[in-house]
Amino acid sequence: MFIPHFPRINRRRPAAALCVFILVFCGCSQSDRPRLGTVHGRVTLDGKPLADACVGFKPSGPFRASSANTDAQGHYELVYIRDIKGAAIGKHQVFFSTNNPLHHNVEIVPAKYNKQTTLEAEVKAGDNELNFDLTSK
């Protein structure tokens, strides 16, 4: 009977390689990301839901902005990057826009809420419900 001979495999090397892989890839994804708070709410304009609008939160610090699109009822939930929800903890400049060049939409949000925004919001650790009641006047 023939019994194949397999070289002895050092079982420590694959385990060590796996540990290094996990440390490198898990550690890197979080090192450049700030602490985040989840942010959701509702946006209205003159008491009516602001549908299909872009909501942007620009932090005062060195981190990236977060954004969302409102649904038909004006609800939004901020996304920091790809599938990571939330916004950096701290003060943010907040802006809104309905101008979508791809759909040739006309901007209905006054400049004081978009290009010349005067709105600010504070994102705290945990869950943040931030509602905005905008006026066209």
What CATH number labels 36-134?
2.60.40.10
pLDDT tens-digit series, residues 1-44: 555 554 554 544 444 443 433 333 433 345 578 999 999 999 99
pLDDT tens-digit series, residues 54-83: 999 999 989 999 999 999 999 999 999 999
Q: What is the pTM of this model?
A: 0.74
Q: Domains of the chain: which residue ranges? A: 36-134
Burial classification of residue 83, based on how many CB atoms lie within 10 Å of its CB (0-12 exposed, 13-18 middle, 19 or more buried): exposed
User: Of 38, 37, 36, 44, which is closest to residue 131 (Cα–Cα)?
Assistant: 44
